[in-house]
């Protein structure tokens, strides 16, 4: 039985991924530090379905602390590093926190892998790396030297750090660039979750700009399937260093996103128009042809269907 270490296992994507790997018959060692970015009780709730499983082991560890991972004694075949501090706007207010939680923490994960001779890493990067790239869809071959937020800078720095450890210590690594993942358990600070809550409370939706910004929304099951495929590729190949877009390749305008949520939630739309915010990109749009070619990534869930599932989950909470 192969063992997989998942950092950030109590988070939105991490909890879904942990469930999936356990379902597929892997042993999972999960790590989370319950960062107070949102309430601990939410993250603990995310783990309810697998916390007591015999093939799951949990460690509460702060990856920012050097040698914190030395507590782990289990044999590990592959690491999925999802943990990190997310959010563009908060990163502008406190960039050092993102350097600590993303770059320093990732360096500690890589050093742990080096010491334990763990050779395989799937790393959660971000579409924010592309900045306001005018060439769309975003391809992994595009220049990403023009990030526009400390969050994006921290993720790009991790990709570069990963390459140095690949070169120096022969680690096999895939950088997975996620594109606006949504679905059940989505963080409460993210737009879809926040907007639905406002709709249910009969409050106006804050719309930054004229509604023409766009995001390549990707349903969480598709992202998880992409991560699993990346891990299987890593298990089957050596001398790997890849960067892959895990998006949906179908951008949705902000105003259309608001209307779809209203339709699925059967609510009337009230808009509070506000100016654009610093650090926000105009659009994200993934070219997923490389991910399809390399690992067989193929998203299945439409935006409308994903919103319907999210509304059902939200209303059942």
Residues classed as catalytic? 151
- What string of DSSP letters covers 252-275? EEHHHHHHHHHHHHT----EEEEP
H helices of the chain, in order, are: 12-23, 40-46, 88-93, 95-98, 105-116, 150-169, 191-200, 220-236, 254-265, 289-295, 303-315
Which tokens hold the place of 124?
């959660």
Contact at 8 Å (CB) between 110 and 218?
A: no
Q: Which residue has the tokens 């939706």?
A: 205
How many other C-beta atoms are found inside a 10 Å radius of the C-beta of residue 278? Answer: 10
CA distance 242 to 295: 11
List the one residue out of 168, 199, 212, 190 whose CA is nearest residue 270: 199
Residue 186 buriedness (CB in 10 A; 0-12 / 13-18 / 19+) = buried
DSSP 9: T
Joined together, the tokens standing for residue 286 give 């993934």
């Amino acid at each position: 039985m192969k063992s997989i270490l998942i950092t950030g296992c109590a988070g939105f994507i991490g909890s879904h991924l942990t469930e999936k790997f356990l379902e597929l018959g892997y042993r999972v060692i999960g790590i989370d530090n319950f960062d107070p970015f949102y309430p601990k009780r939410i993250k603990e709730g995310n783990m309810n379905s697998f916390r007591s499983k015999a093939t799951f082991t949990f460690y509460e560890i702060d990856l920012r602390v050097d040698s914190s991972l030395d507590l782990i004694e289990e044999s590990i075949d592959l690491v999925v590093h999802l943990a990190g501090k997310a959010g563009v706007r908060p990163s502008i207010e406190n960039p050092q926190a993102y350097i600590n939680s993303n770059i320093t923490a990732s360096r500690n994960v890589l050093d742990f892998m080096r010491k334990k001779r763990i050779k395989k890493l799937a790393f959660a990067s971000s579409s924010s790396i592309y900045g306001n790239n005018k060439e769309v869809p975003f391809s992994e071959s595009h220049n990403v030297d023009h990030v526009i937020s400390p969050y994006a800078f921290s993720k790009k720095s991790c990709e570069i750090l990963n390459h140095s450890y690949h070169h120096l210590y022969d680690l096999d690594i895939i950088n997975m660039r996620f594109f606006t993942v949504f679905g059940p358990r989505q963080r409460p600070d993210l737009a879809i979750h926040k907007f639905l809550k406002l709709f249910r409370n009969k409050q106006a939706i804050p719309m930054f700009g004229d509604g023409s910004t766009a995001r390549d929304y990707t349903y969480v099951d598709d992202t998880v399937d992409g991560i699993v495929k990346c891990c299987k590729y890593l298990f089957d190949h050596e001398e790997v260093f890849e960067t892959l877009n895990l998006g949906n390749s179908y951008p949705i305008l902000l105003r259309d996103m608001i209307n779809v949520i209203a339709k699925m939630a059967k609510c009337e739309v009230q808009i509070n128009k506000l100016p654009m915010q610093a650090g926000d990109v105009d659009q994200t749009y993934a070219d997923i042809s490389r991910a399809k070619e390399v690992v067989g990534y193929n998203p299945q869930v439409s935006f409308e269907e994903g919103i319907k599932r999210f509304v059902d989950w939200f209303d059942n909470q």
